[in-house]
Structure 1
Amino acid sequence: MGKYSGSIHALENLPYGTGTMKYESGRVYSGAWVMGQWHGKGTLMNPNGDKYEGEFLLDARHGKGAYRWDNGDLYVGDFFEDKRHGSGKFSFHNGNMYEGEFHDG
């Protein structure tokens, strides 16, 4: 699992409120929790350097957010069930850009 520091639900002994989990895989999530799941605003860092900042719903990127890849690419916009979906802007590290609708990633 990993190492958690933050608020715990008294009865369920699960992350609840605000806290940070450092997973054995190298991923780090810091932000809002509900019953042990990422839920609300938070930041997810992947071991490869990719970073997501934004809204989560039941452990998935969901709502408004920004995802920056290690290579410098950046997506800012809507997420739905952990995928880029809805209005957004994708800026490539080479200077190219796409702004518009995204569907299923």
Structure 2
Amino acid sequence: MNHPEPQSIDLDAIYKALANPVRREILACLREPQAHFADQELPLDHGVCAGRIDAHCGLSQSTVSAHLAALQKAGLVTSKRVGQWVFFKRNEPVIEAFLAHMHRQL
């Protein structure tokens, strides 16, 4: 039985994004930014600066940038530019819609 998604989500992009453990780690850390990125200078209500995520992952900027792009393409994170910095947040409505889909399907 098919139910319409409450929020339009790209299931294939989400599955692909979540297949990578680094991307799952990034999402998990963004769930509680105050616990993982407390050293960020700007308020966390902007999101977490890409540079902080790079440092947390211990990977190159270009590698983390590719992971963040995949998460953003899947709709799992949103970004906001503030000056020269880009901040990322979890996109909770899409995550909730995906979890609801999983609950119905599995």
TM-score clears 0.5:
no
Structure in which a larger fraction of residues adopt strand: 1
TM-score normalized by structure 1? 0.24
TM-score normalized by structure 2? 0.24
> Using CA pairs below 8 Å that are at least 6 residues apart, which structure has the higher relative contact order?
2
Structure in which a larger fraction of residues adopt helix: 2
